[in-house]
């Protein structure tokens, strides 16, 4: 037996070593008696344990971390923990965030003997919860054999990265201390070469180039699955070299540099601009990057380009005018295109102009309104920020943001589970901080994470603010206090009491969740008028980069913008019948 074959390491240490190799810095989760033994390995491996307030929040945070870092991990206990987390895992599945869910399970002996232990239905059946996860993860495994353990861990990590979706790894509680082969650790966890090493077919490259050369009214549409293709640099280069009009979808917003002159924000923000809509609808070539065709992301299917003029790039496939070329790397295809492209042969496009932000200068004593609010706060953003808009009026309003370069932007486009964004803010902020530590750029200003969230959504997962406080993260939370679920009101039941929520005093949130009186009041701002909001935005305290800040803004319960306002008008019209 060779030296390499003899090397062993406890399974728990093996898993944590793999997580470190993935450059993960923070591990989310909640302790429970079946997972405590694996938790022992986290800190010794140089990982930070983020104990969340509950498992759903932990899964949401892991999703947020994965969207910034590329992969993340959440650890829960069997049954109660994993089922609390499952809606967060489902969201990561829907919007393609590779979260590794690690579940501590009863020991192999307890499972074999069908012992009637807690966190089960005392029927001797231990497989139910893994089977439930089949619907929300791309791969599932339970480690029960020491000889295959290391390979199983590697396999499940590969599946998460390959499919860009969550996976489910179950570890019986007698396994973390069991020695397993360490030989795999010599190479980093990788995805099998397969398609990523294959040169794209020259005919396909030529076919696309010819379409690009002959286009008279081309555009580029950047959608959210671009992130999952690992092709953001290639896309930025394509946008720069063509200088063609470029839009993003809500899911794609923030993935392409909005400081570039030809980048026009989302199609949704351009919705009312006639010239934009006309250009979009009559284009003769759309390069569609990372399509994600949910109703919300496509402006209720109206912003999907005509298939006959579209070349789309998705993970593992490219589609030219409806013809699918499978099993190729869109990233390699983009690289080949960029290498061969003769930009002098491309049409030069100057229009259509971006929408000009409204120049209403509201009176300082006027009440806040959604229409003006988002352009008004836009100047607060700076390069490097991560900006999140929770489902509801914030998601609709935030579409008009003009983002500085190097910002990231989160908005829900398919899963739309309200309550997601606050824990996702925690996850995103930790991913930003971990990456700053990893790249030793501590000399830079600390990264900032800015969340816009309605009161109803905030109540769902509010306690996770305490973890943001504990981790001293540089987060600004703008709570839109508009007396309930405005997004539901505009859909149905405008004045129905079921769309009301409990009345909270949000100014006391920081106090309950861990800060003392002085810190709590120093970090809280509120605004009912533009003058008050400007004072908050200008205040030195807000710009100190020394941890969490909360700005509570008050708006009318039926105030909204864009599509939400259209829905409200329809409801009001129905009421008059």
Give the CA count within 13 Å in the CB-facing half-sphere of 434. Answer: 26
Cβ contact 494:456 at 8 Å: no
Identify which of residues 368 and 416 has a Cβ nearer to a second copy in the complex.
416
Closest contact distance (angstroms) between CB of 73 and a second copy is: 14
Which residues, other chains included, contact 300 with Cβ-Cβ below 8 Å and sequence gap of 6+? 563
CB of 276 to a second copy, least distance (A): 24
Q: Is the Cβ of residue 207 or residue 459 nearer to a second copy in the bound state?
A: 459
| Cα separation, 224 vs 328, whole angstroms | 19
Q: Which residue number, 79 or 200, has a Cβ lying nearer to a second copy?
A: 79
DSSP H/E element including 574: helix 562-576
Whether residue 484 is annotated as binding a ligand: the answer is yes
Question: Closest CB to a second copy among 208 and 460?
Answer: 460
Residue 458 burial class via C-beta count within 10 angstroms: exposed 0-12, middle 13-18, buried 19 and up: buried
Return the number of the residue (518 or 540) whose C-beta is nearest a second copy.
518
Separate counts of helices (H) and strands (E) for the chain = 23, 21
Give min distance, CB of 207 to a second copy, in A.
28
Tokens of 292: 């994600």
Phi/psi class of residue 300: alpha, beta or left (left: φ > 0; alpha: ψ in -120 to 50)?
A: left
129 or 409, CB closer to a second copy? 129
CB of 295 to a second copy, least distance (A): 5
Least distance from a second copy to the Cβ atom of residue 483, Å: 13
Query: Which residue lies nearer to a second copy by CB, 416 or 480?
Result: 416
Separation CA 212–CA 208 (nearest Å):
6
In angstroms, what is the minimal distance from the CB of 274 to a second copy? 28
Q: What is the largest CA-CA distance in the chain?
A: 85
Minimum distance from CB of 277 to a second copy (Å)?
Answer: 22
Q: Which two tokens stand for residue 320?
A: 């030219």
Q: Is 295 annotated as a binding residue?
A: no
Considering the complex, what minimum distance in angstroms separates the CB of residue 367 from a second copy? 24
| Tally of CA atoms within 13 A in the half-sphere of 202 that contains its CB | 1
Give me 369's structure tokens. 């309104």
Q: What is the DSSP letter of 380?
A: G
CA angle (574 as vertex; 571, 577 as ends), nearest 5: 155
Comparing CB distances to a second copy, the nearer of 62 and 273 is: 62
Cα separation of 382 and 168, whole Å?
A: 37
Q: In angstroms, give the least distance from the CB of 87 to a second copy.
A: 4
Phi, psi of 119, rounded to the nearest 5 degrees: 60, 25
Residues 416, 419, 424, 429, Cα dihedral to 10°: 140
DSSP per-residue string spanning 198-226: SPPPHHHHHHHHHHHHH-SSEEEEE-TTH
Nearer to a second copy, 401 or 485 (CB): 485
Q: Is the peptide bond before 13 cis (omega within 30 degrees of 0)?
A: no
**Collapsing DSSP states into helix, strand and coil, what is residue 74?**
strand
Owner of token pair 């009161």: 455
Contact 348, 411 (CB under 8 A): no
Residue whose CB is less far from a second copy, 128 or 326: 128
Considering the complex, what minimum distance in angstroms separates the CB of residue 419 from a second copy? Answer: 6
List, as residue ranges, the binding site: 455, 482, 484
List, as residue ranges, the binding site for Mg(2+): 455, 482, 484
């Amino acid at each position: 037996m060779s030296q390499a074959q003899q090397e062993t390491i406890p399974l728990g240490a093996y898993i944590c070593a793999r997580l470190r190799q993935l450059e993960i810095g923070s591990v989310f989760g909640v302790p429970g008696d079946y997972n405590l033994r694996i938790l022992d390995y986290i800190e010794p491996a140089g990982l930070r344990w983020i104990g969340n307030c509950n498992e759903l929040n932990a899964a949401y945070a892991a999703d947020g971390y994965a969207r910034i870092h590329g992969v993340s991990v959440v650890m829960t206990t069997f049954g109660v923990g994993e089922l609390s987390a499952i809606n967060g895992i489902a969201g990561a599945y829907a919007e393609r965030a590779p979260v590794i869910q690690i579940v501590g399970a009863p020991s192999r002996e307890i499972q074999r003997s069908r012992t009637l232990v807690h966190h089960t239905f005392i029927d001797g059946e231990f497989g139910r919860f893994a089977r439930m996860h089949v619907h929300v993860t791309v791969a599932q495994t339970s480690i029960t054999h020491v000889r295959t353990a290391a390979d199983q861990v590697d396999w499940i990590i590969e599946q998460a990265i390959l499919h860009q979706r969550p996976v489910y790894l179950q570890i019986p509680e007698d396994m973390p201390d069991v020695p397993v082969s360490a030989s795999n650790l010599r190479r980093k966890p990788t995805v099998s070469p397969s398609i990523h090493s294959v040169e794209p077919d020259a005919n396909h490259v030529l076919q696309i180039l010819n379409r690009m050369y002959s286009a008279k009214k081309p555009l580029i549409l950047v959608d959210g699955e671009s992130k999952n293709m690992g092709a953001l640099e290639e896309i930025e280069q394509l946008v720069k070299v063509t200088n063609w009009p470029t839009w993003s979808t809500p899911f794609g917003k923030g993935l392409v540099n909005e400081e570039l002159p030809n980048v026009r924000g989302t199609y949704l923000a351009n919705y009312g601009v006639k010239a934009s809509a006309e250009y979009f609808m009559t284009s003769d070539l759309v390069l569609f990057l990372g399509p994600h065709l949910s109703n919300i992301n496509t402006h209720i299917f109206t912003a999907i380009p005509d298939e006959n003029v579209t070349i789309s790039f998705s993970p593992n496939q490219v589609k030219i005018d409806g013809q699918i070329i499978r099993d190729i790397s869109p990233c390699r295809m983009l690289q080949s295109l960029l290498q061969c492209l003769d930009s002098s042969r491309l049409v030069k496009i100057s229009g259509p102009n971006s929408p000009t932000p409204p120049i209403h200068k509201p009176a300082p004593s006027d009440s806040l309104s959604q229409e003006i609010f988002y352009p008004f706060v836009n100047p607060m953003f700076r390069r490097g920020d991560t900006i999140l808009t929770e489902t509801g009026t914030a998601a609709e309003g935030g579409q008009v943001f003009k983002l500085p370069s190097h910002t990231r932007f989160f908005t829900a486009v398919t899963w739309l589970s309200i309550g997601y964004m606050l824990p996702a803010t925690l996850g995103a902020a930790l991913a930003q901080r971990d990456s700053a530590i990893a790249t030793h750029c501590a000399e830079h200003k600390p990264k900032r994470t800015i969340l816009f969230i309605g009161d109803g959504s905030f109540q769902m997962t509010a306690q996770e603010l305490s973890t943001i406080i504990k981790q001293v993260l540089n987060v600004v939370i703008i709570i839109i206090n508009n007396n309930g679920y405005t997004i539901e009101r505009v859909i149905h039941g405008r004045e129905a009491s079921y769309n009301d929520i409990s009345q909270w005093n949000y100014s006391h949130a920081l106090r309950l969740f861990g800060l003392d009186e002085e810190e709590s009041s120093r970090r809280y701002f509120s605004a009912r008028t533009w003058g008050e909001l400007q004072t908050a935005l200008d205040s030195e305290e807000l710009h100190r980069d020394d941890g969490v800040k909360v700005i509570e803004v008050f708006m009318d319960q039926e105030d909204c913008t864009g599509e939400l306002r259209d829905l409200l008008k329809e409801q009001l019209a129905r009421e008059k019948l």
